[in-house]
Structure 1
Amino acid sequence: MSRLVTVGAVSALVLVLGANATAWAQEDIGTARAYITQGKFAEAIKILDKLIKERPEAVQLYFDLGRAYFGMKNLPQAETAFGKVIAGKPLVADSYFNRGVVRIQSNNWAGAIEDFSKVIELNPKPKQGAPDLVLESRDNRVGAYLQVNKFAEAIQDATTVLTADPKRGFTLLNRGYAYEKINQFDKAVADYGAAIPLLSGADQASTYFSKADLEFLKLTQLQPAVDDYTKGLALDKNNVGALLNRAACYFQLKSFQPALADYSAALALKPGDGEILKNRAAVYLQLKDYKSAIVDYSGYLQKAGATADVSVYRLRAACYLNVDPKNYAGAVGDLKNYLAKNATDAVGWKDLALAQYNSIVPPGTTITKAQAGGLTDAITSATKATTLDAKQADAFIILGDSYSFQEKYKEAVPPYTSYIALAPDKPFGYEGLGRVQYNLQDYKGAIANFEKYLKLKPNDAEIKKLLNLAKASGGGGSATEKIAALTEAINADPKDPVAYTNRGVAYFEMQDFDKAIADFQKALDLKPGELQYISNLASASYSKASKTKAEADYKAASAIYTQWLAKAPSNADVLLTMGDISLNLKQWDAAISSYTKYLATNPTDAKNQQAVLTNRAYCALQKTPPDLTSAIADYTKLIGMNPSEPKFYDLRGRAYQDQQNLAAAAADFEKFAQLSGSKDPDALKNTAILYFNTGEKKRKANDPSKGLPEFEKAISNYTAYLALKATDAQALYGRGLAIYRKAKASTDVKVKLAELKKAIADFEAATKADAKLADAWYYLGLSCDDYGVADELSAETMFPKAIAAYEKYVSLPGVSAADADAIKKRIAQLKEAL
């Protein structure tokens, strides 16, 4: 960062010489001085030039002329004028001071030093109301000394000035800069700190940054640097250099989120800057946000091109190896680019081998012998790593695993042996060596290594199986004999938690959960708080509960899982199981809480996410009252994940229906039927009713659509239903009513009559299917009535039908007296019309 070095604190010109004009030209001199005061420098110069021609020996005229030229920023002429004053009165300090000021403004540092030194030499006594010229000369000389790199002299002058007046901010600032230049950083920081409260605005911000730079870059005082950068940025928020330096401090302090914020702010000010991208990527890497780190490293590499720092390839490769999903091909490419310039980096070769190996054998998978042929590159790279550095343990395990997959068992033995020698506390070498020894029929060696492996990973069922097979092949015992042997070991040492754990595992595998629980609990009692023992006990307790379905067993499992969760609050398996246990105990809020925490910690686990969202929605619906909104939200997420799965539409539709969101419910039920190919009559009828009711709401609310789209869908669903149950009176009535609503909404007489005719047919069929369906008789009468009104030629036919239907309606029980009276009046009107 550029530092503030100021000579801007120079004094103004002093006005002493020539203050008392003689009677000669007193009026003109007064006028010229008035012009200078008013800033009319050209007018003043014109008068003074005239007077000087008359009296060239009048020194005071040159003094005023210098002032005027200075005001016009004509510094050469001002310097000449003050020089003439000095020539005339060489022992008067004021003019030396003024010329020094002019020379500073002209960047004539040596001349300024000479003039200010002369003032100091003359040592004039301060005049009342005027500045102390000696003190001001020393202050101005500080800035001039800085410009010619005379830092010791600058410090001496500044110290003298500050002794007399310690509140001079720029003087403190300049002395701090001088201390910085001679590497006395503590003193520089102290002066910058003292100067800050005496400055303002940009000067104050810049001084904060100067102080912070020294604290960060020279004194490694990271937190003080952060504090000063922060104060400076509060005044100058767009200072990219300060943002970058503060980010670097945060990074070294391991405060990665603030560092990320600063690098991002800097990038907003300098979009696409390659170095900033590289630095921000390093922060993302520390935060394990590998995807973002990859984006930034890629941006840097693209920006830097051929001049890129090749170590960035190494870093991006590390991201590729850690990102989910892993990008082994990307890591291989980057590591090759890196190793092209760093061929002796054993760790780089090891990582390349790891990437090449995992690209053929992704973690947790197995491969065929034919596929194992692709491990040749991994073997080559791992061999290179171990040749460069015989302590590259991971390279040895890659070699051993690669040879093992290729069924080159004899070749696998040496690298496994080397790995075990380097990492005797790790299980992988024992497992690998045990496997190849088993395949080489060296059962004694396999047993020894499997047992060592199981001491490190006692719950590995596959290795236990191989161990038993090895024992059987080499004279080993049965599972029952193994339990007996472990019981003997417990009797010999009743305080050995490992023996209880191993016997508990054996009982667990036999599904004797009570005995397994007892052994796991004993191991935990012997070593309280041991996470592995807690997890064993939890697994056995839950397995028992799953088998018995007993509330007491679920409660016991819940208690131990709660202990496990206290040790590993973000453990996905624990959160998932806790949710399931709470669900079985009908503790809906607790289940929802566990499922929610699980989803937060496992946002990419699509398979379990579906089950968890389904369960969470179920729990929300079981609450009193049901949390319909939350359930709908979860079903919506499930639909987003599985847009072609019909059951989620059915479940969400039911929730919408309970929420009285009829339109949404109808749409979901229709989607369910479409996706499932379901011809379930009840579903079709229910959907039809929902669409009709939605249309009715719109119609009654004077919706511009008049509910017609919903009535059409109701008709469609009723029609599909009636194709299955043709004599359902309620469905015939429902479809007829939807058609009637269409007819009433139509302004085209022909269309209206056609729809009324369909409605009449449905109402007639409904009354035939159920002669006591009053509403069907009413709407049959109303439809015939409307038809006769709309078509006078049909009145003689339709009005009698309407009368007959109306008379049937009023004769049925349940019709209110008011309705009956109104209908009877209409019957009378229709008879009169006939």
Structure 2
Amino acid sequence: MAVSRKKSAALTILLGTLLIGTGCGSMSSHKNVDLGLAHINSHEYEEAAECFEAAKAAGENDRLLYRASGILNRNLGQYDEAIDDFLKSLAATSGIPGDMDFDTNFYLADTYMKLEKYDEAEKVYDAILALRKKDKDAYYMRGLTKLYSTDHDGAVVDFNKAMTLSPRNYDLRIMIYKALSASGYEEEAKEILQSCLNNTDPNMTNYEKGQISYYLGNNADAQSYLELARNERETEKAPVVLLLGQTGEKQGDFNYAISVYKTFLAEDSDHPDIYNQLGLCQLNMGDYEGAVTSFEAGLALGNSDYSRALLMNEITAYEHAGNFAQAKTLMEKYRKAYPDDADAEREEIFLSTR
């Protein structure tokens, strides 16, 4: 079933706010908003809400305040409230829309997607692309909305447009591969990756060749390319090591993967993603104590991009070890930091019975 392409009044309003806006407040006065955003980054949501109340009382900029409040509500899983906030932020835009307004629209569309309101999300991406006709991210995301609403053909058109706009972006092609595969279009997805290797790009790096080979399931080729990349002086080593270890994992050789990760971390320990992958390998090997140590080492680095996965995996390690009391304690901490995680809510109920 194709997604309806009719432009509703909501789209007209959205485009209008992007183009005109009403404006409100002074952009220079937003110290409480900034402090609130810092609290959100630290998962201190009650403190963030207090800052936003203070910002409202002080008459701080509405555009920034509503955007920040939307981010807070989104993190709390209060998606309807978040949508209302993002729309208010856009309505407070004055003059020509800037980067922040487009960023707010991406937040808005993503929130619609969390509610599975794919038609509404698509309209937001339509609005972005009406003003930024070469935004590959908007084409990719609009393609996702169409794919999720079973408009496969429309999704492919947008994915192709995104790839045309970014011809050497292999990460983008891998994301499209994953999306199509997850929706049941495995062979079509593989063709996208295979074409990367067939149309040999003279500038394609060994790491990129290794990436593509890995996702195509050619583990031996992937390993060869990644080993070459690991020994190249100019190549960033962390992503190479992460994928190289995973080639071993896919073949069930967890000892090889653990060796790859540990060797790298002994020289450069500032990589929470690699600690996380090491911990997962140790989990698979039944080394629950080692897994906990790895997850804790990753968490200690304080990188918010990985803290969610690391903490949940640490909980899993304690569960496997039979230490349900510690798992329950950490789950309470996790639920406070990530209240929007419905799966964790069910897991918390399970732990309460142990």
Alignment partner of 1:489 out of 196, 199, 202: 199
Deviation at 1:381, TM superposition (A): 2.2
Partner of 1:532: 239
1:747-766 C-alpha deviation (Å, 9 max, x unpaired):
xxxxxxxxxxxxxxxxxxxx
Count of matched residue positions in the alignment of Structure 1 and Structure 2: 288
Give the partner amino acid of 2:108.
Answer: L
Partner of 2:124: 412
Distance 2:280 2:257 in 1: 14
TM-score normalized with structure 2 length? 0.58
Q: Compared with structure 1, are the counterparts of its residues 335 and 402 closer, same or farther at alpha carbon in structure 2 (3 Å cutoff)?
A: same
**Maintained 8 Å contact 1:524/1:530:** yes
2:143 counterpart SS class: helix
**Maintained 8 Å contact 1:313/1:337:** yes
Distance 1:513 1:379 in 2: 44
Partner of 2:313: 608
Q: Compared with structure 1, are the counterparts of its residues 487 and 525 closer, same or farther at alpha carbon in structure 2 (3 Å cutoff)?
A: farther
Distance 1:548 1:561 in 2: 15
Larger RCO, structures 1/2 (Cα 8 Å, 6+ apart): 2
Alignment gaps of 5+ in structure 2: 1-28, 330-352
2:97 counterpart SS class: coil
Deviation at 1:447, TM superposition (A): 1.6
Partner of 2:213: 504
Alignment partner of 2:160 out of 415, 435, 448: 448
Deviation at 1:410, TM superposition (A): 5.0
Alignment partner of 2:88 out of 381, 384, 396: 381
Alignment gaps of 5+ in structure 1: 1-309, 362-371, 619-634, 645-674, 677-834
Distance 2:327 2:121 in 1: 46
Alignment partner of 1:350 out of 36, 47, 67: 67
**Maintained 8 Å contact 1:320/1:331:** yes
Query: Whose radius of gyration is greater, 1 or 2?
Result: 1
2:171 counterpart SS class: coil
2:274 is equivalent to residue 574 of structure 1: yes
Give the partner amino acid of 2:177.
Answer: K
- Range with greater deviation from structure 2 (446-455 or 431-440): 446-455
Give the partner amino acid of 2:39.
Answer: Y
2:225 is equivalent to residue 519 of structure 1: yes
**Maintained 8 Å contact 1:352/1:381:** no
1:528 counterpart SS class: coil
Partner of 1:279: none
Alignment of 1:40-79 (within 5 A): none
Q: Percent identity?
A: 12
1:442 counterpart SS class: helix
Distance 1:614 1:348 in 2: 41
1:354 counterpart SS class: helix
Deviation at 1:641, TM superposition (A): 1.9
Distance 2:30 2:203 in 1: 55
1:390 counterpart SS class: coil
TM-score normalized with structure 1 length? 0.28
Q: Compared with structure 1, are the counterparts of its residues 388 and 339 closer, same or farther at alpha carbon in structure 2 (3 Å cutoff)?
A: farther
Distance 2:65 2:296 in 1: 41
Partner of 2:142: 433
Partner of 1:562: 263
CA RMSD of aligned residues (A): 5.0
Distance 2:130 2:73 in 1: 21
Distance 1:415 1:395 in 2: 12
2:41 is equivalent to residue 322 of structure 1: yes
1:304-363 C-alpha deviation (Å, 9 max, x unpaired):
xxxxxx956434422432222x52x764564354245435453333323323443446xx
**Maintained 8 Å contact 2:63/2:92:** yes
1:252-297 C-alpha deviation (Å, 9 max, x unpaired):
xxxxxxxxxxxxxxxxxxxxxxxxxxxxxxxxxxxxxxxxxxxxxx
Deviation at 1:383, TM superposition (A): 1.4
1:368-406 C-alpha deviation (Å, 9 max, x unpaired):
xxxx65454124223134446611232221233345553
Give the partner amino acid of 1:463.
Answer: I
**Maintained 8 Å contact 1:450/1:467:** no
Deviation at 1:514, TM superposition (A): 2.2
Partner of 1:478: 188
Give the partner amino acid of 2:109.
Answer: G
Q: Compared with structure 1, are the counterparts of its residues 593 and 548 closer, same or farther at alpha carbon in structure 2 (3 Å cutoff)?
A: closer
1:499-523 C-alpha deviation (Å, 9 max, x unpaired):
514422323xx3x432332233345
Deviation at 1:434, TM superposition (A): 2.4
Distance 2:287 2:69 in 1: 50
**Maintained 8 Å contact 2:207/2:229:** yes
Q: Compared with structure 1, are the counterparts of its residues 321 and 591 closer, same or farther at alpha carbon in structure 2 (3 Å cutoff)?
A: closer
Distance 2:258 2:192 in 1: 27
Alignment partner of 1:401 out of 110, 116, 129: 110
**Maintained 8 Å contact 1:500/1:522:** no
2:179 is equivalent to residue 466 of structure 1: yes
Q: Compared with structure 1, are the counterparts of its residues 419 and 359 closer, same or farther at alpha carbon in structure 2 (3 Å cutoff)?
A: farther
Alignment of 1:126-275 (within 5 A): none
Alignment of 1:704-783 (within 5 A): none
